[in-house]
Amino acid sequence: MTKDFLKPPFGLDDVEILERESLYKGFFRMECLHYRHKRYRGGWSETISREVLFRGDAVGAVLYDPANDLIGLVEQIRPGAFADPNGPWCLEVVAGMVEPGETTEAVVWREMQEEADITPSHVEYICQYMASPGGCDERLHVYCALANLDGLDGGVSGLDEEGEDIRLLIIPAAEVFAELYSGRFNNAATMISLQWLQMNRPRLQQEHR
């Protein structure tokens, strides 16, 4: 079986950025990039102009208790989901942005304290992916964090200075997986980590025993 698809024929050296036009700089940054690139059929493309949202790297981690077969998720309001049929309060994995000089695993430990007031016993890396590379540079690193979740449902946390109002939900794994495609878990980091957990749940339980 060939693995040629794992290495694309072009790289960053095959792109020429002609101009970076600053459009906005606030909580996020947006630029219009004017560029050209090599083409599969040979030669170079015409100049292409695209707006790109720059967010940087982020981390998400699903909480799992293998002893009690419980999953921990957080719920908070999200302005990008105001028009979502389920409403703007989203069920998500614990998540946060990577600060300069910070490792992705360090973000897991920090955000677990800030958003869920929990210290995991162990964290396991799942994968990384780009959220929407057609117009955003954000790369998400997804983890699974193991912890004792028994009796923790309903806690409220978050940083007041960042306007966070976050509720912790502890749900039996079977109930989560039964509703996995109901639309309630409507963001990629949560879906990816829950699908990974669904496949790796027996192994995690066995390792705990």
Catalytic residues: 162
DSSP code of residue 100: T
Among residues 90, 102, 200, 187, the alpha carbon closest in space to that of 146 is found at 200
CA atoms within 13 A on the CB side of 172: 3
Assess contact for 51 and 23: CB atoms under 8 A: yes
Find the helix or strand (DSSP H, E) in which 202 lies.
Answer: helix 188-208
